[in-house]
Amino acid sequence: MAAMVSLRKVSKRYRRGAQSVPVLESLDLEVEAGEFLALMGPSGSGKTTLLNLLGGLSRADQGEVRVAGARLDQLSPRALARWRARHIGFVFQFYNLLPVFNAQRNVELPLLLTKLSREQRRHNAQAALALVGLADRGAHRPSELSGGQQQRVAIARALVADPSLLICDEPTGDLDRASADQVLDLLRRLNREQNKTIVMVTHDPRAAAYASRRLNVDKGQLGDDATTVAAT
């Protein structure tokens, strides 16, 4: 199986005033296409930084970042934006839906960056909403939906342009248990039935249990990746 993600000796530092704080140090990582990887670790361990590097939201200071066949460290900001539109679907902890748009319009947003016609965009957005079980909620604004429903709309938005990789940052961090299970079930179904590659950051071991592989991030380093979990 081809590697969807390949990181070689990647380092990233942040500036805090006069100080330069290392976050990731000489990190290597491979994620195969079709994998569902959970990244775990304490706050400040660098897992969200790693996720941002994979999603092309920030750049490494050193090393090689290859995702979906592209060397992200070599792309211009504009090319990187186009690459994100084509290859990455993001799911955020707080859903990040645009409150002024209804669910249908929120899901349609990534398709505005494609050549699809208006009708095709509407059709695909409706199909994505149906996939997450919210076909009848297209006209509702985010404020009219529960947290779990909002996160499923966000997943529909992440999926609608058929990206190569889903990047999920604490997707259940703001949800109750039942809603979290629904969202995790959905992610697992997308991974298994549609072969979507997923990298998910989570604090929650129960959420991580849904992934096919778990890695611990601590002090900018990856722990053993030997743990392969068969989710229940």
Partner 1 sequence: MHAVHQILAVTSMNLRGLPQRIAPSLVVVTGIAGVVGVLLAVLALSQGLSRSLVTSGRADRALLLHAEANSEAASALTRDSVSRIIDSAGIARDARNEPIASAEVPATLRLPRRSDGALGILTVRGVGEKLPALRPEILINEGRMPARGLNELIAGRAARSGFAGLDIGQHVVLGNADWTVVGSFESGGDAHESELLADADTLLSAYQRASFNAVTVKLLEPAAFDTLNRALAADPALAVTAMRESDYYQQRSQKFAKVLAIVARLVAAIMAIGAVFAALNSLYSVVSARTVEIATLRAIGFGGGAVMISVMAEALLLALVGACAGAALTWLLFDGHMVSTVGGGGVANVIFRLHIGGGLIAVGMLWACAIGLIGGLLPAIRAARLPIDTALRAQ
Q: Which residues bind partner 1 (CB under 8 A)?
A: 49, 52, 55, 57-58, 77-78, 81-82, 84-86, 90, 92, 94, 96, 98-101, 109-110, 112-115, 157
Q: Pull the structure tokens for residue 157.
A: 């938005």
Min separation Cβ 209 and partner 1, Å: 26
- Report the C-alpha gap between 107 and 128 in whole angstroms: 8
Would the CA dihedral through 154, 200, 87, 182 be positive or negative? Answer: negative
Least separation in angstroms between CB 230 and partner 1 = 32
Give 109 or 209: the residue with its C-beta nearer to partner 1. Answer: 109
Closest CA to 199 of 36, 57, 47, 69: 36
Comparing CB distances to partner 1, the nearer of 98 and 135 is 98
As measured in angstroms, the least distance from the Cβ of 228 to partner 1 is 30
CB-CB contact of 65 with 72 (8 Å): yes
Task: Say if residues 34 and 191 touch (Cβ distance below 8 Å).
Answer: yes
Nearer to partner 1, 128 or 212 (CB): 128
d(CA 110, CA 89): 9
Nearer to partner 1, 175 or 212 (CB): 175
CB of 24 to partner 1, least distance (A): 13
Determine contact, residues 167/90, Cβ cutoff 8 Å.
yes
Identify which of residues 63 and 142 has a Cβ nearer to partner 1 in the complex. Answer: 142
- The residues, any chain, with a CB within 8 Å of residue 130's CB and separated by 6 or more, are none
Q: How far is the CB of 57 from partner 1 (least distance, A)?
A: 5
